[in-house]
Amino acid sequence: MVAAATYNGTAGTADDGRSSGVQDLNMFYDTGHLAFLTVSSVLVLLMIPGVGFFYGGLARRKSALQLILLSMISVAVVGFQWFFWGYSLAFSRTGSSFLGDLTQFGLMNTLAQPNGSANLPDILFCLYQGMFASITPALLIGAVADRGRILPGMVFIFLFATVIYCPIAYWTWNPNGWLFKLGALDFAGGGPVHINSGMASLAYSIMLGKRTGYSSTQGLPYRPHSVTNVVLGTVFLWVGWFGFNGGSALAMNLRAVMACYVTNLAACCAAVTWMLLDYRLEKKWSTIGFCSGAVSGLVAITPAAGFVTPWGAVIVGIVGGACCNGATKLKYLIGVDDALDIFAVHGIGGAVGGILTGIFGASYIAGLDGTAYAPIGWIEHHWVQLGYQLSGICAAAAWSFTMSSIILFLMNLIPGLSLRVSVSGEEEGVDSEECGEYAYDYVEITRHVADSASSGAVSSNSSIHEKTPRVTG
């Protein structure tokens, strides 16, 4: 690796990188770092259709395509928002303790000046962080499953990215942000991405109301319609998370490698933990349980990945998987139809990971990037760190839930932006109602609500028309 020249352009305010008078701006950056973060950006992008397949597989056939589409809509809507003003609001070099300014509006003067790290030019840091901004609403929008409209979802994605994501990202990662100054640690997005999306999805689920036929004790007795798609989505997410967490080192160094390793280890431990917890109930080895556990482990390790040892990652994975598994029962206690358990996996998983970062964070792991760090977690007797972590968790959760609820309530009052499909549209299926297209080749049959051999025990008034794949042979 050849050492790059030290950047000698204007510092403190955004410029285009050419104030140095040097024509070849590449001289300031090592191509290894540039390549690593570019590939990491692509890996995070890969996660977003993974979210769509994961959610689509968990949902009913007649809702699957909408969930895949909305995940990709998130990329498009936030892609523009991030260019327009999102990047400036979250990562401008000047601003208050709560929000950035518009000095980089429309990516003006955003090119080669370092940002986020001395190893990255503004434009690459913008690309990488833009993928984080895109995946966050993709995670929460699964709350619309079976009953939400697309147009309000698109509007909410834009408003969410602006009013909710950008402030939390600024507090957490911008050196001017109040959580950053406080000392709260979040390596790759436990607060801005996971707690944020989990709380926003909870608010969306509440504002939408329960699906027709929802029971306060069992939910809807539908099984996931495509376990294969759930596995496919899990694979996309698992692979992409190497860029999500590893890339958050913002350079190709040993800290990035360690972040990748502990990410994989936590996912493995959580997957087995969740599967064993489900096995105790029905004595079946659940593929859905394995996949849900893997994702919960990936979520829990996200804030901790650049701070914990491999043995710490084992604890994060086991505790994260167990807590998220148990949290899936909370929706029955609070009476909310969280169709895809987004709050349980992302909201609770992100909080658990943030807390465990304050306990198992180690300065010698963070120092693998070549920088000296003060003691971090309880294992280094830095007791106050847990308080900082709780501050970050509570701030992200409160802002996300409160502002999401307000935005959704106001949207629902505006003609044309009502959140929920019509009764007939829900009966027919949101793919038919909203997309006019289907995830599969369909024929119409009558399927009973109780997806079991004992369906005759349920009133025939519960039967619905659902589209299922045509069988040929």
pLDDT digits (tens, 9 = 90+) for 253-270: 999 999 999 999 999 999
* Exposed e or buried b per residue across 349-382, where buried means at least 16 C-beta atoms within 10 angstroms of its C-beta: bbbbbbbbbbbbbbbebbebbeeebeebbbebeb
Average pLDDT of the segment spanning 114-128:
94
Structure confidence at residue 324 (pLDDT): 98
Q: Which long-range contacts (CB under 8 A, 24 or more apart) does 286-293 make?
A: 287/227, 287/230, 287/231, 288/58, 288/224, 288/227, 288/230, 291/54, 291/230, 291/231, 291/233, 291/234, 292/324, 292/325, 292/341, 292/345, 293/321, 293/324, 293/325
Report the 10 Å Cβ neighbour count for 407: 20
Q: What is the mean pLDDT of the chain?
A: 91
Q: Partners of 11 in the beta sheet?
A: none
Considering only CA atoms, give the Rg of the chain.
23
User: What band does 453 get if pLDDT is binned at 50, 70 and 90?
Assistant: very low
Q: Please report where in the chains the tokens 């990188």 appear, as a residue.
A: 17
pLDDT of residue 19: 65
Q: How far apart are CA 2 and CA 368, in angstroms?
A: 19
Mean pLDDT of 54-62: 94
Crossing angle (nearest 10°) for helices 196-208 and 122-140: 40
The residue among 13 and 353 whose pLDDT is bigger is: 353
- Dihedral angle sign, alpha carbons of residues 186, 188, 193, 194: negative
Beta bridge partners of 464: 447
Give the pLDDT score at 106: 96
Structure tokens at 426: 């829900």
Query: Is residue 445 over pLDDT 50?
Result: no
The proportion of the chain whose per-residue pLDDT surpasses 90, expressed as a percent, equals 82
What's the pLDDT at 21? 61
Span of 76-80, 98-102, 280-284 with lowest mean pLDDT = 280-284
The mean-pLDDT minimum among 170-179, 344-353, 421-430 falls in 421-430
- CA dist 163 to 189, 200, 400, Å? 17, 12, 9
Provide mean pLDDT across the span 239-252. Answer: 98
Q: How far apart are CA 86 and CA 427, in angstroms?
A: 38
| Cβ contacts of 38 within 8 Å, gap of 6 or more | 124, 127
> Average pLDDT of 322-349?
96
- List the beta bridge partners of residue 444: 467
Looking at residue 8, what is its pLDDT?
Answer: 75
* pLDDT tier at 448, thresholds 50, 70, 90: very low
Instruction: Tell me the per-residue pLDDT of 377-415, one tens digit each, with 9 for 90 and over.
Output: 999 999 999 999 999 999 999 999 999 999 999 999 999
DSSP E strands, 7-142: 114-115, 117-121
Report residue 180: phi and psi, to 5°.
-60, -45
Confidence of residue 216 (pLDDT cuts 50, 70, 90): confident
Is the pLDDT confidence value at 473 over 60? no
**Spatial distance between the Cα atoms of 217 and 386, rounded to a whole number of angstroms:** 35
- H-state helical runs in 285-384: 287-301, 310-327, 330-334, 342, 348-360, 363-366
Distance in angstroms (rounded) separating the CA atoms of residues 406 and 452? 40
Instruction: Note whether 405 and 203 are within 8 A (CB).
Output: yes
Question: Quick check: 359 pLDDT over 90?
Answer: yes
* Helical ranges in 174-309 per DSSP H: 178-182, 196-208, 227-246, 254-282, 287-301
pLDDT of 455 over the 90 cut: no
Confidence category of residue 470, pLDDT binned at 50, 70, 90? very low
User: How large is the average pLDDT for residues 423-430?
Assistant: 91
First to last CA, the chain: 58
Q: Nearest-CA neighbor of 320 among 282, 285, 360?
A: 360
Could you give the CA distance from residue 69 to residue 432 in angstroms, rounded to a whole number? 13
pLDDT at 442 over 70: no
20 pLDDT band (50/70/90 cuts)?
A: low
Rounded Cα distance, 328 and 340, in Å: 9
Q: What is the pLDDT of residue 27?
A: 85
pLDDT of residue 251: 96
222 and 211 in contact (C-beta within 8 Å)? no
Q: What is the pLDDT of residue 213?
A: 85
**Which stretches within 116-213 are classed as H helix?**
122-140, 150-159, 166-173, 178-182, 196-208
pLDDT at 99 over 70: yes
| 419 sits in which H/E element | none
pLDDT digits 0-9 by tens, 125-184: 999 999 999 999 999 999 999 999 999 999 999 999 999 999 999 999 999 999 999 999
Residue 341 scores a pLDDT above 70? yes
Top-confidence residue, 235 or 7: 235
Max intra-chain CA distance, the chain: 79
Q: Give this prediction's pTM.
A: 0.91
What's the CA gap between 330 and 82, in Å, rounded? 34
Q: How many helices (H) and strands (E) does the chain have?
A: 19, 4
Between CA 351 and CA 320 the distance in angstroms is 9
Check whether 55 has a pLDDT greater than 90. Answer: yes
Neighbours of 427 (CB within 10 A): 15
Query: Which pLDDT band holds residue 468 (cuts at 50, 70, 90)?
Result: very low
Q: Is 290 within 8 Å of 325 (Cβ atoms)? A: no
Nearest to 200, CA basis, from 44, 73, 378, 338? 338
Asked if 20 and 31 count as a contact pair (C-beta separation under 8 A), the reply is no
Task: For tokens 């020249």, name the residue.
Answer: 5
pLDDT value for 415: 94
Residue 462: HSE in the Cβ half-sphere, 13 Å Cα cutoff: 16
**Helix then strand then coil, % of the chain, to nearest 5:** 65, 5, 30
pLDDT given for residue 3 in this prediction: 55
pLDDT one-digit tens code per residue, 29-47: 999 999 999 999 999 999 9
